[in-house]
Each structure stands twice: as structure tokens, then as C-alpha cells.
């Protein structure tokens, strides 16, 4: 099942010390995204915050929320097709005179 999520991030809340420079010149910033089962009062069911280090998680440091959003499209798996015609098996008889063949 796939989903499309619309997410808005408040760039003023990004911790610039956590921007990682890649050797190829690119810059990366890690975030954590949570997809909730139920939406809040504004219809948002996605939250994002600055990714925490293992030490920050162990110390139960507060999350720095940077954005939220909502699922805008969801591809649900198709249901298994059911046969439109049902067939019943005919009971098998061992009588040679009643084999159901015309010869």
C-alpha cells in the first residue's frame, strides 16, 4: 500500500548544527516523520521533528517539532476477486452402470 503525504516544514525551527555535509557537496538534514492513525482538529495526521541521536532519545530529550501535514492520497490494495458463478461438485459414485457417460 502506498501513500502520498503533504508536509510543511518550518525552516526557522531547523537546527543548523545538524546539517550534514556530504563529500559530493550535498547537504542533508535528518528528520523523523510520524504517521498517525487519527487526524487532529485541523485534519493533520503527520508530524515531523528534528531527528534525535541515540543519546538524546535515551535522555528522553524533548522533540523539536518542525512541521505537520496530512495524507493526501492512499492506494489501498484491491480485494481478491470472487468468482461470479459458483459450481457445486457432483458426488462421485462407484457404480459402473451410473458413470454419467453416454457410451
pLDDT at 6: 96
**What is the pLDDT at residue 78?**
61
Predicted pLDDT at 1: 76
CA distances from 97 to 64, 89, 100, 103 (A): 84, 20, 8, 11
pTM reported for the whole predicted model: 0.67
Task: Evaluate whether residue 64 is within a structural domain.
Answer: yes
The predicted pLDDT at position 66 comes to: 97
Q: Mean pLDDT, 10 residues at a time, over the chain (103 residues)? A: 93 94 96 96 96 96 97 78 52 57 56
53 part of a folded domain: yes
In a domain, 55, yes or no: yes
C-alpha 101/C-alpha 93 separation (Å) is 13
**What nine digits make up the cell of 25?**
557537496
Domains in the chain, number: 1
Please report whether residue 88 resides in a domain: no
Query: Residue 102 has what pLDDT?
Result: 60
Give the pLDDT score at 100: 60
- Which structural domain, as residue segments, surrounds residue 46? 2-75
Amino acid at each position: 500500500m502506498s501513500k502520498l503525504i503533504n508536509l510543511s516544514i518550518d525552516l526557522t525551527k531547523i537546527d543548523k548544527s545538524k546539517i550534514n555535509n556530504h563529500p559530493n557537496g550535498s547537504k542533508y538534514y535528518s528528520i523523523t516523520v510520524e504517521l498517525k492513525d487519527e487526524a487532529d482538529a485541523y485534519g493533520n495526521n503527520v508530524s515531523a521533528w528534528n531527528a534525535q541521536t541515540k543519546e538524546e532519545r535515551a535522555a528522553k530529550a524533548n522533540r523539536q517539532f518542525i512541521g505537520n501535514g496530512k495524507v493526501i492520497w492512499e492506494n489501498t490494495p484491491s480485494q481478491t476477486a470472487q468468482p461470479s458463478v459458483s459450481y457445486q461438485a457432483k458426488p462421485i459414485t462407484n457404480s459402473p452402470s451410473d458413470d454419467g457417460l453416454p457410451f
